[in-house]
Structure 1
């Protein structure tokens, strides 16, 4: 393994450990000392790869910045519901679920002006805009507001799953999404939306 490969491997190890500790305990609670100790490396080695803890927090968030589903020829409403079905399946049996990592970081950082805050906001907004882009293809009066409502349903479902430690709490959010879409005049097919869910990629 060359020097560059070794540097990359160590960087990936640091991010992997930070991802686990940050998500489980919070970014404020986990210090550089704890991460270095977990890896069995010195702080000097840590800082060689990440000049500051803030740089590591950014790498942590970037690692969780999952791609959105690719463009599809499926009906927009079907894609939206399939996305929600995917989220429900991804949470099934997730015993270590601690909520949305991006919302957690925003809660810890508060109004602090930082790159991490910008990334977390950009991630959440990218999901809302994905919904809006699909809704804009339909004959609905206000796709922007409807997209916001759908995004709120997802975040609310994450909170409910965390509170009750039960992934089934995602199901009422999907039912509410169907109600919102129908109220906006969108025709949907329950069977087609469920089948389309297998094509979805991670969202949160």
Structure 2
């Protein structure tokens, strides 16, 4: 294995471990010592890959910043499916909310790069909704995309407080009302969403 491949593999191990620990226990609660020990490497090795904890936090969040995969499914089905997926995610029992919002709330540093990444994620999701709404011919796609994003964020926050996946179903029902008000009929949930 080439040196670059070994380096990339170690970076990925560090990021996988940081992701699991940061998301599961919190960014502030997990130190680089814990991450290094979990992997079985020295702190120095970890710092050779990520010069600071802040660099590791940025890499962790950047790794999670992935665009929604393109789909040939009808736009409305994709929109409603997002709420169905959220409900299933909440029901896993390991759901701790939005990792981007969690990072911003934990770090409490407006200038931290985590804030830019969190904003990029939220905007990416809103633009995804907007694109689907535009494909449906909705004239108010920009405003409605923000409303759908707020419903999604609200369901995530409510799930943290209540621990009940049904909040995503309630958000889905509210999304259906908004879509119907925009003259779009929402499909029923399907088991494969």
Where do 5+ consecutive residues of structure 2 fail to align?
none
- Partner of 2:110: helix, strand, or coil? coil
RMSD: 1.9
Partner-residue secondary structure (3-state), 2:111? coil
Deviant stretches of 4+, over 6 Å: none
Mapping of 1:103-142 within 5 angstroms?
A: 103-142=101-140
Structure 2: distance between partners of 1:47 and 1:95: 32
The CA distance in 1 between the partners of 2:25 and 2:60, in whole Å, is 14
Q: Does the 8 Å contact 1:28/1:108 carry over to 2?
A: yes
1:82-121 correspondence runs (5 A): 82-92=81-91, 94-121=92-119
Relative to the length of structure 2, the TM-score reads 0.89
Q: Is the 8 A contact 1:109 1:117 kept in 2?
A: no
CA distance in 1, matches of 2:26, 2:167: 24
The 1:173/1:11 distance shift into structure 2, 3 A limit, reads same
Q: Which moved more, 1:169-178 or 1:16-25?
A: 16-25
Alignment partner of 1:176: what SS?
helix
1:142/1:28 Cα in 2 relative to 1: closer, same or farther (>3 Å)?
A: same
Q: Are the counterparts in 1 of residues 67 and 124 from structure 2 also a CA contact under 8 Å? A: no
* Match in the other structure for 2:37: 37
Aligned positions, number: 193
In structure 2, relative to structure 1, the CA distance for the partners of 1:8 and 1:86 (3 Å cut) is same
Aligned twin of 2:58: 58
Summarize the alignment of residues 135-154 of structure 1 with structure 2, pairs less than 5 Å apart.
135-154=133-152
Question: Is 1:157–1:173's contact at 8 Å kept on the other side of the alignment?
Answer: yes
Match of 1:24 in 2: 24
Deviation per residue, 1:74-130 (Å, 9 max, x gap) = 2x22221122222222332x2121111011112123352132221111011100111
Distance across 2 between alignment mates of 1:87 and 1:69: 16
Equivalent position of 2:76 in the other structure: 77
Structure 1 unaligned regions, length at least 5: 199-204
Deviations 1:44-71 (A, max 9, x none): 1111111111111111112222331314
Q: Which residue of 1 aligns with 2:190?
A: 194
